[in-house]
Every structure is written in C-alpha cells, then in structure tokens.
C-alpha cells in the first residue's frame, strides 16, 4: 500500500450530523498519498454543502438517490488510487488504522484485501472524546479478544460476514475481477461482494479495533427487514460455489443450514416485533423447513400463533 495512492470512498445520505467527524478521522491517519471521495447520494439535508465548504480538498460527487451500493460503486469508478478504502459517513476510523493495515499487507503481498476488528459505539455526539475511546477499547491489546478469520476465508464467510465494510481496504484489481456492489440488494450488498472476493484472494485481518461503528436509530439494519437478505446472499454463494474452497477446505453443510435457519428465525422475530404477522409466520416456517430442530424457531412460531389469536391494534397481517 505504501507508495500507492489510496482512495477513501465515503457514501453519504443525509449525514450532515456525522460526515465531518468521518472525514476528519480519515485525515487524522496522516497518510502521505491519499484522496477522499465523498459520493452524496441525493441528500436532502446540508451534507453535500457542508463537505463542499468545510473540506475543499475532498472530491465531492453528487448524484440522485440510488442507494448505498450505487454510491459506493460510483466512488470506486471515480477513485484514482490503486487501493480503495471504504468508510460510511456516520462511522469513524481510529488513529493508526491505515498504518496497521499497510503493515499487514506488507507481511503477505499476495493478499489484495485487508480489514480490521471494530467496536460498536452508541454515541450521538459527532465523535467520542479521548476518555470514551479509551473506555470503548479497553483490552484492545489482547489479540484473542479481537481475532477473526484471516486468509482464504470463504468457508468462514458462509457462517458469518466477518468483514465490516468501513474497515476494508481493497486493491482495485479485485473489482475488475469480480465486479462491484450489487445494487439489487438493499441490505447485504457488501456481504455478497466479500463472498465473491474471498474466492480470488486471501483476505487479511488486523486483530485490534481500528474503527467505531455508530449504532443509532436511523441505521438501516435496525428496521424490520422485508426480505431475508442473509439467506439470499449465502444461498446464492452456495449454489454457485458450494461449501468450500480449494485453499481452505469446506464447512459442513449442516452448519450452514443452521446459520440460515437462525437467519430466518431472526427475520421472523424482527417482523413479529414490528407487528407484521404474515411476514413473521413465513420466516418462522422457513426457519423450521431449513432446520426443524431449531427450538427457538418453534418458540417464535408459538408467539405468532398467540398473536393471531389475540390481535392488538396496529398488527399487520
């Protein structure tokens, strides 16, 4: 990575409250050869104007609202660097992130993607203070606490999307080989991409937290899903490549089925909480069809049945 221009792609949609902190966290990396590309995806607040006036050195690209996948893809196409990093507009990099990832890539020049551990942060301020960061990262020097899959990780990814996109740095060549983010997926477009990438390159991990994931009420992943995107993404990968990789071995089909069953159970529970009984019932039945031994799915189905017998105002069927 050293000696090459690195492009940081930041998709932005109505993130006026957070975008400045995200950009500053990139600038605080003190990386010598770096460009920041903000793709404003049709924001209706002051996000784009704030970037334009406060950060004149940042490349600002404006487009009509098309979703985060399209915004990231636009950023990749516009980026000038051989290495491309991603950061969502409401997240924050921690100091030393890029240096740690560059060192990791230097240890294995064949690897074209590197990511890192992260910490969830529920703060509503623009960025945490030094004391709050220290508290969040207590034990950060313990690699065992932050370890995750590294290397040829396709089988691991079938069980869990270990990569968080706001920590990923990837060589441009991977997008030339496997394509970019699938704009047809509202959620899981990054999971889908990293599964494809894991087929062609080793993916390395820095086992210490290098970024903060901001958990807030507006996060898209908090809403009750209309589709089980995890099942869509994993099932598509299995249908195309199966359960293993020539360099990494394989994961038992039963473990993947268990994961898919749990994803359907989570889908059902989330929609039950939202009062969407038909969608919840479909999810519970899909969970049990995938793995009839999953006890928690039977419990969710029972709650759905009880909810149907004692309807409450606002429940959707």
CA separation, residue 307 to residues 63, 73, 241, 265, 273 (Å): 44, 43, 40, 16, 11
Instruction: Please give the share of the chain, as a percent, with pLDDT higher than 70.
Output: 93
Q: Which domains does the chain have, with CATH numbers?
A: 6-217 (3.90.550.10), 229-309 (no CATH)
**pLDDT digit string, tens, across residues 98-142:** 999 999 999 998 999 999 999 998 877 777 777 777 777 776 667
CA separation, residue 112 to residues 7, 223, 252 (Å): 15, 33, 27
What residues are paired with 59 via a beta bridge? 37
Residue 201 predicted with pLDDT over 80: yes
Measured between its terminal Cα atoms, the distance across the chain in Å is 53
- What integer pLDDT is reported at residue 202 of this predicted model? 97
Residue 317 predicted with pLDDT over 50: no
Q: Where are the beta strands (DSSP E) in the chain?
A: 6-12, 34-41, 59-63, 83-86, 92-93, 113-121, 169-171, 203-214, 244-245, 249-250
- What integer pLDDT is reported at residue 258 of this predicted model? 97
Query: Which of 79, 53, 75, 55 lies closest to 66 in space, CA to CA?
Result: 75
Residue 308 binned pLDDT confidence (cut-offs 50, 70, 90): low
Residue partners of 175: CB distance under 8 A and separation at least 6: 76, 84
Neighbours of 128 (CB within 10 A): 18
Q: Give Cα 238 to chain centroid, integer Å.
A: 20
**Maximum Cα–Cα distance across the chain:** 66
């Amino acid at each position: 990575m050293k000696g090459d221009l690195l492009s940081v792609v930041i998709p932005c949609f109505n993130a006026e409250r957070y975008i400045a902190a995200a950009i500053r966290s990139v600038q605080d990396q003190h990386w010598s050869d770096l460009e920041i590309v903000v793709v404003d995806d049709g924001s209706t607040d002051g996000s784009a104007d704030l970037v334009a006036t406060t950060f004149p050195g940042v490349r600002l690209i404006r487009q009509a609202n098309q979703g985060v996948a399209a915004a990231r893809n636009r950023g990749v196409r516009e980026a000038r660097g051989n290495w491309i990093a991603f950061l969502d507009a409401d997240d924050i990099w921690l100091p030393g992130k890029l240096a740690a990832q560059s060192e990791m890539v230097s240890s294995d020049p064949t690897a074209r993607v590197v990511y890192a551990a992260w910490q969830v942060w529920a703060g509503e301020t623009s960025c945490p203070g030094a004391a709050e960061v220290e508290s969040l990262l207590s034990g950060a020097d313990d690699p065992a606490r932050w370890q995750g899959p590294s290397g040829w990780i396709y089988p691991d990814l079938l069980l869990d999307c270990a990569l968080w996109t706001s920590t990923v740095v990837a060589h441009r060549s991977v997008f030339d080989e496997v394509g970019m983010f699938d704009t047809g997926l509202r959620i899981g477009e990054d999971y889908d991409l990293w599964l494809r990438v894991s087929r062609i390159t080793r993916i390395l991990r820095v086992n210490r937290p290098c970024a903060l994931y901001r958990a807030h009420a507006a996060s898209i992943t908090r809403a009750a899903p209309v589709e089980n995107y995890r099942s869509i993404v994993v099932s598509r990968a299995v249908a195309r490549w199966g359960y293993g990789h020539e360099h990494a071995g394989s994961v038992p089909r039963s473990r993947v089925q268990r994961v898919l069953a749990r994803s359907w159970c989570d889908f059902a529970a989330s929609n039950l909480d939202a009062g969407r009984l038909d969608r919840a019932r479909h999810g519970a039945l899909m969970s049990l069809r995938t793995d009839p031994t999953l006890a928690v799915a039977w419990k969710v189905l029972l709650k759905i049945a009880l909810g149907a017998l004692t309807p409450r105002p606002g429940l959707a069927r």
